[in-house]
Amino acid sequence: MKKWVLFLFFIPWFMLRAQITDDRSFRFEGYLFSADSLPVDAAILVSYRTLGAWRSRSDGFFSIKAQPGDSFAVAHVSFDKKVIQANLNPADQNRYYLPYSIIEIERVDIKFYDREMEYFEKNRDLINEELSYELYLSRDYDFIVNPYAPPKPPAGYVNFNFPDIIDRFIQNRKRLERKLNRLKNE
């Protein structure tokens, strides 16, 4: 009974959907080229009407289902944006040339002061010490010793961070479980 109710509910919905569709759509095809007549790969074409996006192939070819009056924004990293209008011409007649984008790099002046460098070196040393300690705790001891692994923290380094202590206990427990499983399998 429920299936019939759903079926009867969806019949008017499908009939309404069928009336909304517009059969004036056509295939808009063309090619995208650079100013040097090289095909543009992976250019994005965005429809202003539907906000749908399409990508051009490696040979610059694109094929989009469009309606009369549609326009598309062409975007690419290396090229300036361009707006193209959909038309019924064959793909060979739709050749669009994109101008190169000019990238400007601003000059950056870096000034070092002795005091700032002193703080930088202290912070760098502190960060390296904390990273080596964290990596030392997270290292898996069952493998061959890695010569590139961070060194063991200095003997005087004591950290009473409770989450680190819990993490160390969990890692030791997992390591012991792995060793016990290996001994059981052997």
Asked whether the predicted pLDDT for residue 37 surpasses 70, the reply is yes
Residue 143's pLDDT band (cuts 50, 70, 90) = very low
Q: What pLDDT, in 10s, does the model give residues 70-107? A: 999 999 988 989 999 999 999 999 999 999 887 776 77
Residue 6's pLDDT is 57
Range among 17-31, 120-134, 168-182 with highest mean pLDDT value = 168-182
**Which class does domain 24-98 fall in?**
mainly beta
DSSP secondary structure string, the chain? -HHHHHHHHHHHHHHHHHHH--TT-EEEEEEEEETTSPBPPS-EEEETTT--EEE--TTSEEEEEE-TT-EEEEE-SSB--EEEE--SS-GGG-EEEEPBPPP----------HHHHHHHHHHHHHHHHHHHHHHHHH--TTSPPPTTSPPPPPTT-----HHHHHHHHHHHHHHHHHHHHHHHH-
**Structural domain spans, the chain:** 24-98, 114-185
Kindly report, residue by residue over 57-73, the tens digit of the pLDDT: 999 999 999 999 899 99
